[in-house]
Amino acid sequence: MTKLRVHSFSISVDGFGAGPHQDLANPLGVGGRALHRWLVATRTFERMHGSDGGATGVDDDFAARWSANVGAWILGRNMFGPIRGPWPDHTWKGWWGENPPFHAPVFVLSNHPRPSIPMDGGTVFHFVADGIKAALRRATEAAKGQDVQIGGGVETIRQYLRAALIDEMCLAISPVLLGSGEHLFTGIDTLKLGYRCTEHVATANATHIVLTRPRRPSL
């Protein structure tokens, strides 16, 4: 069965997945880049950007899960870009240039429809204006038996968490404090929703936590 997953999503020790004051200059919010220091040092990250080198080991093993067996992606509107409200034009095509790292269909949650955008490398951005379950149904069909990955951001993950639709979530807790920003778990009772910690491994750069739940409600 196709799983809905979150993998290699970094949060701070105090639970924030993005810093405050997100904008074009600070897409992860002020201080948010520090959450991903564990990732940018890995061989997987270097290969994603067409380079050699990078560290192997536990951090790299978890980073490599990011795209393993993923056939489609779901992103929030804020993850796709900094533009809010109706699209002023169609020039913005994401943060990643002409060849985004997804290499699969990507379904972007938005209240404002927009034509699909085919990109180099097999990525196609589709815009879904009728809710998270509609996006998941479309992504599941597009994944053709592989898993669907939620790439972020925080609020999109929170929506799917509240609906208990995420089957597996791998978090990297970075040894930094942000103090404010977008908190991942505020107001969400993960235990009541059926999630359990099934794996935890600490390295010098992050603590990797895997949360799973046994069953997903019907769409």
Average pLDDT for consecutive 10-residue bins of the chain (219 residues)?
A: 94 96 85 94 87 91 91 96 91 94 96 96 97 98 97 96 95 97 96 95 97 75
**Residue 219: per-residue pLDDT:** 61
**Residue 216: per-residue pLDDT:** 63
**Residue 24: per-residue pLDDT:** 81
Q: Token digits for 138?
A: 């479309």
Cα Rg, the chain, nearest whole Å: 17
For domain 4-81+98-212, give the fold. Answer: Dihydrofolate Reductase, subunit A (3.40.430)
End-to-end CA distance of the chain: 14
The answer for residues whose C-beta is within 8 angstroms of residue 79's C-beta and 6 or more apart is 108, 151, 152, 153, 156
| Phi, psi dihedral angles at 77 (to 5 degrees) | -60, -40
Strand-pair partners of 70: 147
The whole-model pTM stands at 0.93
CA distance 2 to 82: 30
Please name which of 77, 84, 72, 44 lies closest in space to residue 147, comparing C-alpha atoms.
72
Q: Hey, where are the domains in the chain? A: 4-81+98-212
Our measurement of the distance from residue 143's CA atom to the centroid of its chain's CA atoms, rounded to an integer in Å, reads 16
Q: Would you say 207 and 201 are in contact if contact means Cβ atoms under 8 Å apart?
A: yes
**Residue 27: per-residue pLDDT:** 85
